Amino acid sequence: MRAVVQRVDGASVVVAGETVGEITGEGLCVLVGVTHDDTPEKAAQLARKLWSVRVLDGEKSCSDVNAPLLVISQFTLYGDARKGRRPTWNAAAPGPVAEPLVDEVVARLRELGAHVETGRFGADMRVSLTNHGPFTVLIDV
């Protein structure tokens, strides 16, 4: 699994004009990509890392300050644009494999005590955020 993690001062995701997920104040906006060999164990590992990674102001984690997370599925994180002009998506897991694993990340975060908002899997989403720093980190598990 792969996640692009951005420290934000608020973020939201809109689908067809409707806000489906939103966090306010300090937190993390997390784009999650799934590949073919990912497992529920990897989803749990990613959730623990997201909850405890110390990237918020003052080197705090979401668990330290009870900061919210906005988790959004994004298959394009496994795009490969090394050849030609069009990326390939061969490394991205198909929806029936990826969706339950993204849901597992969210469920595990909530079990840890996190307030989690989400996008809508497979939808045409509009993501807005204020990147604080800017601060962006890539996490692979």
Catalytic residues, by residue number, are 74-76
Q: Which residue has the tokens 């009870």?
A: 66
Instruction: Give the residues across from 116 on adjacent strands.
Output: 69
Q: Any bridge partners for residue 5, and if so which?
A: 30, 137
Q: Where are the alpha helices (DSSP H) in 19-135?
A: 40-52, 62-65, 95-111
Cβ-contact 26, 9 below 8 angstroms: yes
Residue 130 CA to residue 31 CA, distance in Å, equals 15
Tell me the β-bridge partners of 30.
Answer: 5, 71
